[in-house]
Amino acid sequence: MKILLLCNKSPFPAREGGPIAMNMILEGLIRAGHTVKVLAINSNKYKVDIDSIPSEYRKKTGIELVDVDLSIKPLGAFLNLFSSRSYHVERFISGDMEQALIRILQSEKFDVVQFEMLFMSPYLDVVRKYSAAKIVLRTHNIEHLIWKRIADTTKNPLKRIYLRHLVRTLKNYECSVVRNFDGIAAITEKDATFFRSLAGMEKDHPPVISIPFGIDPECFPETKEEPEFPSLFSIGAMDWIPNLEGICWFLEKVWPELHSRFPLLRYTLAGRHMPQWLKEKGYPGVEVAGEVDDALAFMRTKAILVVPLFSGSGIRIKIIEGMAAGKTIVSTAIGAEGIRCSHGKDIFIADDTEAFIRSISACVEDKKLCESVGRNARKLILEEYNRDSIISKLLGFYQKIGR
């Protein structure tokens, strides 16, 4: 089978959630014996030098990058207030991207064209015109839901009005365009249920399937390396609004009490695009590490992963990876969405200040409990989120819609 992946950012290097999820799919498809071609937007937000991508990777993926400026234009953003079009989506429309796509479709034949994320859907008509391939939308989130949750927690009234406009236009676009695909591969069963529920899709047309993020067990071998205990850490791209908002909430509402109870406890923040003001804030007991070269190696040195997310959608890849590494996770219900985990068994769920303090205190005070939850978490991921079985499920879906 020959598959074209249209990506809103380069899957290599896989430094944050979206690229990690895309790279998991393409590596899994190639490992299963299929041919994959990648065409990706190369934006100012996630800029990649094509020459920095290893030649072996370029050869096996045929990856091409097209420069697209995704920066927010104040005038365009303001004028969009008087439009019914989604400003989120419009930023991804590029003549250069369209021409590159046409050239590829005219020179190669594909069995499947997979759109990685909603924001690539403006190129749907181009694919229909120049290819007979089946077209799949791989949804990483319910996009409008992320922004709805952000809008609902925004205190500035003017900003909230504008965000609600963005939510409305994005929701209208998302709910209408998904009907035009041959199939939808959602990243969680909850997201899949939403897409099935849309008007006109009750009869499963287009068909919808849940294809979660999966890990390669070989990348998460067991280790006897002892992490620093007790220790807390968070890791994630800080230019993603839900991450930054959650960390700020934790530092203001939870950390002062934890630091008072456990003066020797240390909390380390890692991730790309760490704000300078956060580095300079100087919270006691907090180390701001910024971007780390090897996320898994960093995880192995710490004990408890804190994921305080109150907005967002889809599945938290860093939680999946943290669980695979045997880490104890303390997260919100929203953070744990899409993962078949159980509070107190393989994760701790906390949705307010008191619950976070209670769960983290229990881990800090009882090392055996902490280690037991971490072991259960690893077992869950290795059994239910194995990449090879997930890719087999995706290939079966391709064959189903290809009939």
Same domain, residue pair 56 and 32 = yes
Same domain, residue pair 49 and 194 = yes
Which tens digit of pLDDT belongs to each residue from 151-161? 888 888 888 88
pLDDT at 141: 84
Which tens digit of pLDDT belongs to each residue from 215-249? 888 889 888 888 999 999 999 989 888 899 999 99
Same domain, residue pair 94 and 183 = yes
Same domain, residue pair 132 and 82 = yes
Q: Percentage of residues in the chain with pLDDT exceeding 70?
A: 97
Same domain, residue pair 174 and 256 = no
| Residue 313 binned pLDDT confidence (cut-offs 50, 70, 90) | low
pLDDT at 203: 58
Cβ atoms of residues 173 and 86 within 8 Å: yes
Same domain, residue pair 152 and 229 = no
Lowest mean pLDDT among 37-51, 110-124, 190-204, 343-357: 190-204
CA neighbours closer than 13 Å in the CB half-sphere of residue 27 = 19
pLDDT at 403: 62
pLDDT at 353: 97
Residue 199 clears pLDDT 70, i.e. is over it: no
Burial label, 277 (beta-carbon count in 10 A; 0-12, 13-18, 19+): exposed
pLDDT at 328: 97
Same domain, residue pair 223 and 198 = no
Cβ atoms of residues 356 and 362 within 8 Å: no
| Residue 74 binned pLDDT confidence (cut-offs 50, 70, 90) | confident
Same domain, residue pair 12 and 144 = yes
Lowest mean pLDDT among 61-65, 70-74, 337-341: 70-74
201 CB neighbour count, 10 Å cutoff: 17
Same domain, residue pair 156 and 249 = no
* Exposure string over 234-248, b if 16+ CB within 10 A, otherwise e: bbbbbebebbbbbbe
Lowest mean pLDDT among 208-212, 227-231, 336-340: 336-340
Residue 337 clears pLDDT 80, i.e. is over it: yes
Same domain, residue pair 368 and 235 = yes
Which tens digit of pLDDT belongs to each residue from 266-282? 999 999 889 999 888 88
CA–CA separation, 248 and 234 (whole Å):
12
Give the mean model confidence (pLDDT) for residues 121-125.
Answer: 97
CA–CA separation, 214 and 140 (whole Å):
13
Same domain, residue pair 380 and 390 = no
Residue 394: both structure tokens together: 């995706």
CA–CA separation, 262 and 271 (whole Å):
25
Same domain, residue pair 292 and 350 = yes
CA–CA separation, 314 and 334 (whole Å):
9
pLDDT at 62: 96
Structural domain for 256, as ranges = 219-384
Name the domain count of the chain. 2
Please indicate whether residue 157 or residue 134 has the higher confidence score (pLDDT): 134
Query: Which CATH number belongs to the domain containing residue 304 in this structure?
Result: 3.40.50.2000
Give the mean model confidence (pLDDT) for residues 364-369.
Answer: 96
